[in-house]
Amino acid sequence: MTEGTDISVSRRAFLKLGRRADPDVLRPPGTNAALLTEQCKSCSACIDACPEQIIVAGAGNFPVLDFSRGACTFCEACADACPSGAFSKDIVPQWSWKAGITSACLSLQGISCRACEDACEPRAIRFRLALGGKSEPVLDQHQCTGCGACAYQCPAAAVTFTRVEPNKEEDPA
Ligand code: SF4
Ligand code: SF4
């Protein structure tokens, strides 16, 4: 009897170990890898609730944000829909993902494009003249909300996202 219980417990622990959410993946606002690993039942309620349809099932069937489908409005419909405690309204304000623009940017290659600047409501992206008559995108991380609108509109998939801790935001070095 005791042996059977031990086997069942260790099997549960083993299954849990095999389903760990990756902390370096964009999650819907209000949740994180630790909460998902502990609480998410992969029921798809958050996926179905998102009016922007930008939540998809990722590795381990945990929800991830896909900015190639649209931008996040931070409406919290996903958090409201979750029945399992995998979201916490307390961590919505801690959303610390910020956009960055890679060398794939068309403008950096001399092709006229301002799609990201046009998409950015808080005006976090500006362009300045660079060598050779090119325009270089400059992103103000303090203004960036991490909404993904620029990534959605970028025709070159040149926008990436990284998590910026508050102290690093002050001093990116
Ligand atoms: S906050 Fe709203 S728009 Fe953003 S992922 Fe959740 S449901 Fe979708
Ligand atoms: S993620 Fe949103 S706020 Fe940040 S630069 Fe892109 S459009 Fe602007």
- Domain CATH for 37: 3.30.70.20
Q: How far apart are CA 55 and CA 106, in angstroms?
A: 27
Show the beta-strand stretches assigned E in 23-134.
Answer: 55-57, 63-65, 97-101, 125-129
pLDDT > 90 in the chain, percent = 74
pLDDT in tens, 16-25: 556 899 988 9
Q: Please say whether the beta carbons of 153 and 95 come within 8 A.
A: no
Could you list the residue range(s) of the whole structural domain that residue 152 is in? Answer: 97-164
Ligand nearest to the CA of 75: 1
Residue 30 φ/ψ, nearest 5 degrees = 110, -5
Mean pLDDT, all residues of the chain: 87
pTM, two decimals, is: 0.84
Q: Please say whether the beta carbons of 163 and 96 come within 8 A.
A: yes
**Residues 145 and 122 placed together within one structural domain of the fold:** yes
The residue contributing the CA closest to ligand 1 atom 3 is 72
**Residues 87 and 103 placed together within one structural domain of the fold:** no
**Residues 87 and 21 placed together within one structural domain of the fold:** yes
**Residues 81 and 101 placed together within one structural domain of the fold:** no
Write out the two tokens for 11: 């099997």
Q: How far apart are CA 147 and CA 121, in angstroms?
A: 10
**Residues 135 and 71 placed together within one structural domain of the fold:** no
Residue 125 CB–ligand 2 contact under 6 Å: yes
Final residue in a domain of this structure, among 48, 72, 91: 91
pLDDT in tens, 54-112: 999 999 999 999 999 999 999 999 999 999 999 998 877 778 899 999 999 999 999 99
Average pLDDT on 108-126 reads: 96
How far is the centre of ligand 1, averaged over its atoms, from the C-alpha of 33 (Å)?
17
Our CA angle for 120, 123, 124, nearest 5°, is 90
| Matching residue, tokens 């960055």 | 100
Is residue 83 domain-resident? Answer: yes
Q: Enter the DSSP assignment of 135.
A: E
Confidence of residue 131 (pLDDT cuts 50, 70, 90): confident
